[in-house]
Amino acid sequence: MTDYAEKRTAITGIGQSRISRGADKSALALTIDAALDAIGDAGLTRADIDGMATWPGDRADGSGFSDVGIPALQDALRLELGWYSNASETSGQFGAIFNAIGAISAGLCRHVLIFRTMYEATARKTSFANALNRPGQRVFGPFQWYAPYHVYAAALQQALMFAAYTHKSGMTDEQRAWIAINQRENAALNPNAIFRERITVEDFLAAPIIATPLRLFDCDVPIDGSTAIILSHVDPAKDAPHPLTRIEAVGSAMRYRNSWTQLEALDTQAQPKVAEMMWNRTDLAVKDIDVAELYDGFSFHTINWLENLGVCERYGAKDFIAGGTRIALDGEFPINTNGGALSAGRMHAYGQVHEAMTQLRGLGGERQVPGNPGVAVVTTAGGPLAGAFLLVRE
C-alpha cells in the first residue's frame, strides 16, 4: 500500500467545552475551553501549536453556525503559526483535517489545532438563526436556485434527497426509527448528552413531521459548544501521553456535480465515491471496523453511510438496523456511541471525531464498546458534501 501522507499523521489530543442548550459564556470562550483541553490532552503547551485549521471559518453573521474563526482564537491564545487555513468549500467539515494533513506533510507545521464551534442554541433564542434565507431577501450563490421556494432550513433541502431514498429503498418510518432509538440508548449512558430519555418506535411516530419523510427525532439537536483536536506529525506524536492513533485513510473526493439541485444520485448523496476513495487507500476493510461514528445531522445520513461504506447492501439498511441489535454498543457494528448529534448534540461531525477517539482510548465509560476497539471510521455528509476517514490505534 502506498505510503499516503495521512498515514504519517495522528490525532494526539481531543478537547471539548461543555455542550448545552444555552451556554453561560461566549462562543469564543467555549472555543478556548475546547482548545486548551485538546492542547493539554496532547501533552503540549500553546507554544507547541504551529498550525490552525477550521471549517468553515467565521461567518460573521451571528447565526450560531460558525461564530468563531481562526483570527479570534489565534489572537486570544497568542499562537505563533507556520500555517493556518479555514476551508468551507471542501469535502464537508473534515476539509479542515484533510488540509491539515497536507500542511503537515509539506512541513509547514507539526501540531495543528483544529476546531469547530456551534452557538446555535443561543442564536435561535435571539435571531433568525441558521436560516438559509429570509423572506424578502436577495440570495446570492448556489442557494439562489432554491431561494424563491420557501426553503428556510437545511431540513427542506435534505428532505428532497431523503424522500428519494425512501422512495427507492422502501424503508418505512417504523424501520428508520431504530437509528434514533439506538442513539438515545447510547445517550442514556453518556452523562454529557443533551437528551438521555429512552424512546420507542411509538414515540418516534408520535413526534411531529418536519418535512416528509423527516420527523423530529430524525433531526440533530442545536447546541452551544466547541470541539477541538490536535493533528500531529507521527514523529512527535509518538511522545504524546495517549497511544498513537493514526489517520489510516481519507476519502475527500468530489466526482459528482457539486450542486444541491443537480447532484446526480439524490438517494445516496455524494458518499459512494468518497467511500470508494477511502477504501482504495488502505488494506483494511469493513470487517476490520470496530466502532463507527457516522454523521447524523439527519438520521438518513447515517443510513446512507451504512450502505455506502459497504456495511450492508444498497437499500439493505432497513434490515440491518432492525431492532437496533447490530448497531448497538455490543452489536457487530456499533454506531454513534455517545448518542450522536441526534441525542448528544449537533457538534457537526466533530462530535463524531471526539467520540471515535474516546472509544479508541477505551475511555467511553458506561458506553464503552467492548473488545478494546482499535479501528474506527468517521464520516460527515450533506447533499454534495461528504468526507470520511479511518482511525487506527497502535
Partner 1 sequence: MIDSRKPPSRPLPATTCDTEPFWSGGEHGELLIEQCDGCSYFIHPPTGFCPECESRDTHFQPVSGKGFIETFTVNHKRWVPGLPERYVLALVRIAEQADVRLATNIVNCDPGDVTFDMPVKVLFEENDGLWIPLFEPVGSAA
Binding site for partner 1 (CB under 8 A): 131, 133-140, 144-153, 155-156, 159-164, 167, 208-214, 259, 261-262, 264, 266
Shortest distance, position 304 Cβ to partner 1, whole Å: 15
Say how far residue 130 (Cα) sits from the centre of its chain: 17
Shortest distance, position 75 Cβ to partner 1, whole Å: 33
**SS3 state of residue 23:** coil
Q: What is the spatial distance between Cα 232 and Cα 240, in angstroms, rounded to a whole number?
A: 10
Task: For the beta carbon of residue 327, count every other beta carbon within 10 angstroms.
Answer: 29
Task: For the beta carbon of residue 280, count every other beta carbon within 10 angstroms.
Answer: 13
Measured from the CB atom, the residue of 152 and 315 that comes closer to partner 1 is 152
Task: For the beta carbon of residue 265, count every other beta carbon within 10 angstroms.
Answer: 16
381: left (phi over 0), alpha (psi -120 to 50) or beta: beta
Please report where in the chains the cell 451504512 appears, as a residue: 306
Shortest distance, position 143 Cβ to partner 1, whole Å: 9
Angle at Cα 169 formed by Cα 171 and Cα 340, nearest 5°?
A: 60
Shortest distance, position 138 Cβ to partner 1, whole Å: 4
Shortest distance, position 169 Cβ to partner 1, whole Å: 13
382: left (phi over 0), alpha (psi -120 to 50) or beta: left
Q: What is the spatial distance between Cα 95 and Cα 101, in angstroms, rounded to a whole number?
A: 10
Sign of CA dihedral 165, 345, 132, 115: negative
| HSE toward the beta carbon, residue 222, CA cutoff 13 A | 18
Shortest distance, position 357 Cβ to partner 1, whole Å: 35
* β strands within 46-134, DSSP E: 51-54, 83-86, 111-119
Shortest distance, position 166 Cβ to partner 1, whole Å: 10
Q: What is the spatial distance between Cα 156 and Cα 104, in angstroms, rounded to a whole number?
A: 38
Measured from the CB atom, the residue of 77 and 210 that comes closer to partner 1 is 210
